[in-house]
Amino acid sequence: MDNDKTWYIKQAPKLGGAFHHFTNTSNETSALDTKTKELLKLSLACAFRCKHCTEAHIKKALEVGATKEEITEALLIVALEGAGTEACLG
Q: What is the pLDDT of residue 87?
A: 63
Question: In this predicted model, what pLDDT tens digit does every residue of 7-58 receive, in sequence order?
Answer: 999 999 999 999 999 999 998 889 999 999 999 999 999 999 999 999 999 9
**DSSP 8-class letter at 90:** -
- Mean pLDDT within 66-89: 87
For residue 36, what are the contacts with CB-CB under 8 A and spacing of at least 6? none
Question: Quick one: pLDDT at residue 1?
Answer: 39
Give me the pLDDT at residue 90, please: 59
Give the per-residue pLDDT at 84. 74
| Whole-number Å distance between alpha carbons of 81 and 3 | 41
Please provide the distance, in angstroms rounded to a whole number, between the alpha carbons at the two ends of the chain.
50
User: Which is more confident, 8 or 5?
Assistant: 8
* φ, ψ for residue 33, nearest 5 deg: -75, 165
- pTM of the complete model: 0.78
Average pLDDT over residues 55-80: 96
Domains of the chain: 1-30 (no CATH), 33-90 (1.20.1290.10)
Helix ranges (DSSP H) in 1-90: 7-11, 13-26, 34-47, 51-63, 68-89
Contacts of 67 (CB under 8 A, 6+ apart): none
